[in-house]
Structure 1
Amino acid sequence: MDPLRSGTRPEPRVEARPRLVAAPRRLRVCQVMSADLWAGAEVQLATVASYLVERGDIELSAVLFNEGELAVELRRLGVAVTIIDERENGALAILASLTRWLRTHPVDIVHTHRGKDTVLGAVAARFAGASGVVRTVHGLSEPWRGWRWLKNEVYEAIDGLTLRCLTDRIVVVSQRMAEGHERSGYPAEKVIAIPNGVHLERVRPARMREEVRLELGIGPAVPLIGTVGRLSPVKGHAHFLEAARLILQREPRARFLVVGDGPLRDQLERTARGLGIGDACAFVGARPDVYDLVAAMDVFVLSSLGEGIPMALLEAMALGTPVVATAVGGVPEVVAHRATGLLVASGDEPGLAEACLELARDPGKARTLAARARRAAEQSFSHERNGAALCEVYRGITGDPGGRGRRGVRSRLVRFARRVRGAVAVAITLRQRRRMEHIRREPGPLVTALRSAKRILIVCHGNIIRSPFTARLVAQTLGDDRRVSISSVGLAARPGTPSPPAAVLAARRRRVELGDHVAATITREAVAASDVVFVMDIPQLRAMRKRFRRDRAKMFLLACLAPALPLEVRDPFGGDDASFQECFDHISACVRPIVGRLAEGAAR
């Protein structure tokens, strides 16, 4: 029926209207950094900033403690940069200024990068009411000496407390670094591995390869082997120079290029002259045309003793230059041996020389590896991939209902006080790790102790797997040399407990018999009578140093002389056969250099 004729009113027609969804508020992120160098961390921050400024949902700012190249680059990208000059302000003055700045320029996330800016930035962020604090750990700290070492140790200890108590997320640049932080007591959910990234469109040479080599006085057929990095101890340039000497013995035409500056430049130049290779080496300092120089090399070398994921390595891969690198830190996560480059053990100068010669003499192989490396950089190490992962971290903090939010100062201080005790333990653990890593870089005291040692004590937790296997393997390898006594004990051993069957079977495959072994507990007398004491991991080192304070100087990790291996030997107890095999492989590799040093002492 017609509704008009029936006297009824028709239902009003309602047009469907699209629902308006509010755009998410722009996330305000402030990068805080000391920025006193132009090194890998600064390059990575500039690289990720080039991605963040292009995103419409991020509002980026920066507070730096030094004017320099990073400040110039960030301003070029359009980032608002504020300088609180550390040369004119002490730590407390910087903290006060930074807190005032954050209160007058409210931000959601404060992102820090090194120890000093983390301590000051995190505290200022909490006082100013920022929602979250993120810290990126880029790699190892410099092995300073003297007053700078002491000053750095203080900052590192405070930094450990800050990471534990005042940061929401710890971003590390490699999976190996993430595992190390988790072993040191940081919660796994707080530690996130995000590899560094390179801006592939910007990492390009501006000049032809031939032009650059002509400027350097190097002919097209001359092998040019080079490295880029800050001239500091951790970069291992002394090993690069020794490898160069070995290369020249077999390839006299080779030339070597060292790009970068730093505290060791004069010393390294003297070393090159002392090795008789000064005329073949060019130290060109820090250069703005670094991409041109790397693209002109036949082989790029990374000789570092420790790394996160080095930007110089990623840039060489992006430029299509064949790479030879030491297998340290996160480097094996970037370079697949004989697939995208060649890897050698840290400090292995003959191996480094051999790898460089292999690529220099086989251009076809070098081109193949370089092309694969470029594809790997495109697929896994782009600045877009890195930046997007970082944005997820930021959003995860601000969107976390259990996040910190804008708590009052008093409640934050109470929370801080409650967690100090646990943080102190973490700081001690980190300090012991750094001490052992320092011994890896400079093993002189341990080598000297082994050469004169008469009694070696091997310690693990229960004295049923790791320490007895190690002790018997060392004794068997020494053979008839009875000059050195080798014994093993456990920190928490139950006397008389036998080795588990899985350990006995795994050891027998290596011709080490544990079937007759029973556990023995540690005693003060055993420690005092020993010349060198080896333990398996950092917690055991902490426990030993606490219980036997007078004998601290003789305590070392078993892996101290094997820098290419993980620093700690994991306990396979309760694991499957593969766990025991992996553990015993690790121990066997650690034992070789120890036995070598003991044998040197016997030969004297």
Structure 2
Amino acid sequence: MTSRLRILHCLSTREFAGTERHLAELSAIQAQSHDVTLLLDRNTVDPLTGGDISGFLCPEVKVVRAGRAGYLPALASELRSGRHDIVHTHLGRASARVSWLRRAGLAGSVPVVATLHTSYRGRSYGAHDGLVCIASWQQEALPEKQRDASALIPNWTVPPASTCEARAALRERMRREWRIPDGGVVIGAAGRMVEEKNFGLLIQAWKQAELKPGTRLVMMGDGPERDALQQAAQGRPDIIFTGYRTDMPDLLAAFDAFIVPSRHEPFGLVLLEAMEAGLPVCATAAGGVKDILADAPDCLVAPDSLEALTEGLRRLESAAPRQWDMSRYRIGAAASRVEAFYRRYC
């Protein structure tokens, strides 16, 4: 019988985006057979959207909050406690603090690994024992020493828990709310509204594409660029902003196609979710998207290209639903590979 592990996950963020969802899902499946603790900041609520990982955590996951003194003292206490067999950090803030404590000799002897949700930085990850890369571009960019101590384990998507009838009802309700005309095509885009996501270029491409009168672009999400994007779309009733939504990925049932215009996408979780929903997709060939669509080059367009994105929108307008092979992206297989990676060190 495989021994039960005592796992500590470390995350220091105030939002609920792809990384937070990843960790909530991973910790939940790990808690079925291991003792899982999650160290979080004292406050994890996004002040802009209200998103918070707390509402998505499995009850079996023990949550430890940093105190008034801050995240670093709480982290040091957990590392030296002897209560954990493996420490798994996520994103730069938590990872850099672990690296600092290890270099200062204040972290005890517990092995430490990290998932690279973005780019590798020596300051944040150079003192870790091992690294999980979610996309091949990350692993290829690692220094040789870190590459030898890494594993490529892609993110995953979870099949919708809702019934076909519930998704059909949601589709009808949302399309009515968005005032989609009968027979209208809805092309969706989603993500935090920041420069890297390139939604400004998407709006330019939408205007240039001159699609059919009943076709709509629905943009889900919030962020610092939202006001500027809405200004760019002013006077265009065919561009709809929904704001931050908590009903993803079920909401994808309301769409007919999906587009990802990012300049760089570390992995592309929202793309996976769109594929799980059976949508035809178009995405810029940047970062982890190239791994996901390696067998579907017809769905890729050049990054940061107005003309390529315009042509991609035109193709999506007439594209049929598409059934994708999602077997590579199941959480059970990924969790097993993560556990095997842990056992290299403990």
Give 1:342's aligned residue.
299
Q: How far 1:349 sits from its partner (Å)?
A: 2.1
Rounded to whole Å, the distance in 2 between the matches of 1:307 and 1:285 is 21
* 1:118 partner letter: S
Q: Deviations over 1:58-95 (max 9, x none)?
A: 21110011334212212x3421111116xx54xxx432
Identity of aligned residues (%): 29
Give 2:113's aligned residue.
134
Rounded to whole Å, the distance in 2 between the matches of 1:292 and 1:395 is 35
Give 2:338's aligned residue.
390
Q: How far 1:290 sits from its partner (Å)?
A: 2.4
- 1:73 maps to which of 56, 70, 76: 56
Query: Mind listing any 5+ residue stretches in structure 1 that lack a counterpart?
Result: 1-22, 141-155, 399-604
Conserved? CA contact 2:211–2:317, under 8 Å:
no
Give 1:207's aligned residue.
167
- 1:269 maps to which of 230, 245, 248: 230
Conserved? CA contact 1:308–1:330, under 8 Å:
yes
> Structure 1's 110 and 212: CA in aligned 2 closer, same or farther, altered over 3 A?
same
Greater helix fraction, Structure 1 or Structure 2: 1
- 2:3 maps to which of 25, 34, 44: 25
Q: How far 1:297 sits from its partner (Å)?
A: 1.0
Q: Deviations over 1:507-544 (max 9, x none)?
A: xxxxxxxxxxxxxxxxxxxxxxxxxxxxxxxxxxxxxx
For 2:339, what is the secondary structure of its paired residue?
helix
Q: How many residues align?
A: 334
- 2:86 maps to which of 85, 109, 116: 109
Q: How far 1:201 sits from its partner (Å)?
A: 4.7
Q: How far 1:123 sits from its partner (Å)?
A: 4.4
Give 1:169's aligned residue.
130
- 2:314 maps to which of 352, 357, 371: 357
Q: How far 1:331 sits from its partner (Å)?
A: 0.7
Conserved? CA contact 1:229–1:260, under 8 Å:
yes
* 1:207 partner letter: R
Rounded to whole Å, the distance in 1 between the matches of 2:289 and 2:138 is 11
Conserved? CA contact 2:97–2:124, under 8 Å:
no
Conserved? CA contact 1:131–1:397, under 8 Å:
no
> Structure 1's 233 and 281: CA in aligned 2 closer, same or farther, altered over 3 A?
same
> Structure 1's 120 and 309: CA in aligned 2 closer, same or farther, altered over 3 A?
same
Structure number with bigger Rg = 1
> Structure 1's 113 and 211: CA in aligned 2 closer, same or farther, altered over 3 A?
same
Rounded to whole Å, the distance in 1 between the matches of 2:159 and 2:84 is 30
Q: How far 1:179 sits from its partner (Å)?
A: 0.4
Greater relative contact order (Cα < 8 A, sep 6+): 2
Q: Deviations over 1:236-264 (max 9, x none)?
A: 111111111122x2423221111011111
Give 1:568's aligned residue.
none
Conserved? CA contact 1:53–1:77, under 8 Å:
no
* 2:64 partner letter: T
Conserved? CA contact 2:98–2:107, under 8 Å:
no
Conserved? CA contact 2:284–2:301, under 8 Å:
yes
For 2:142, what is the secondary structure of its paired residue?
helix
* 1:282 partner letter: I
Correspondence 1:196 to 2:155: yes
> Structure 1's 162 and 324: CA in aligned 2 closer, same or farther, altered over 3 A?
closer
Query: Mind listing any 5+ residue stretches in structure 2 that lack a counterpart?
Result: 46-51
Rounded to whole Å, the distance in 1 between the matches of 2:294 and 2:135 is 14
Q: Deviations over 1:393-452 (max 9, x none)?
A: 101111xxxxxxxxxxxxxxxxxxxxxxxxxxxxxxxxxxxxxxxxxxxxxxxxxxxxxx
Q: How far 1:178 sits from its partner (Å)?
A: 0.6
Q: How far 1:220 sits from its partner (Å)?
A: 3.8
Question: What does 1:183-262 align with in structure 2 at a 5 Å threshold?
Answer: 185-202=144-161, 206-208=166-168, 209-247=171-209, 249-262=210-223
For 1:198, what is the secondary structure of its paired residue?
coil
Give 2:267's aligned residue.
309
> Structure 1's 204 and 195: CA in aligned 2 closer, same or farther, altered over 3 A?
farther
Conserved? CA contact 1:197–1:382, under 8 Å:
yes
Rounded to whole Å, the distance in 2 between the matches of 1:197 and 1:204 is 20
Rounded to whole Å, the distance in 2 between the matches of 1:231 and 1:186 is 36
What TM-score do the two structures reach when normalised by structure 1? 0.52
For 1:290, what is the secondary structure of its paired residue?
coil
Q: Deviations over 1:570-590 (max 9, x none)?
A: xxxxxxxxxxxxxxxxxxxxx
* 1:345 partner letter: A
Correspondence 1:327 to 2:285: yes
Rounded to whole Å, the distance in 2 between the matches of 1:246 and 1:397 is 54
Conserved? CA contact 2:187–2:316, under 8 Å:
no
Conserved? CA contact 1:67–1:83, under 8 Å:
no
For 2:60, what is the secondary structure of its paired residue?
coil
Q: Deviations over 1:318-351 (max 9, x none)?
A: 1112111110011111014647x61101112222
Correspondence 1:34 to 2:12: yes
Conserved? CA contact 2:6–2:84, under 8 Å:
yes
Q: How far 1:204 sits from its partner (Å)?
A: 7.2
Rounded to whole Å, the distance in 1 between the matches of 2:79 and 2:93 is 17
Rounded to whole Å, the distance in 2 between the matches of 1:310 and 1:190 is 24
Q: How far 1:162 sits from its partner (Å)?
A: 4.4
Rounded to whole Å, the distance in 2 between the matches of 1:187 and 1:135 is 11
Q: Deviations over 1:77-120 (max 9, x none)?
A: 421111116xx54xxx4322222234346111111111110022
Rounded to whole Å, the distance in 2 between the matches of 1:243 and 1:50 is 40
Rounded to whole Å, the distance in 2 between the matches of 1:129 and 1:235 is 39
> Structure 1's 338 and 168: CA in aligned 2 closer, same or farther, altered over 3 A?
closer
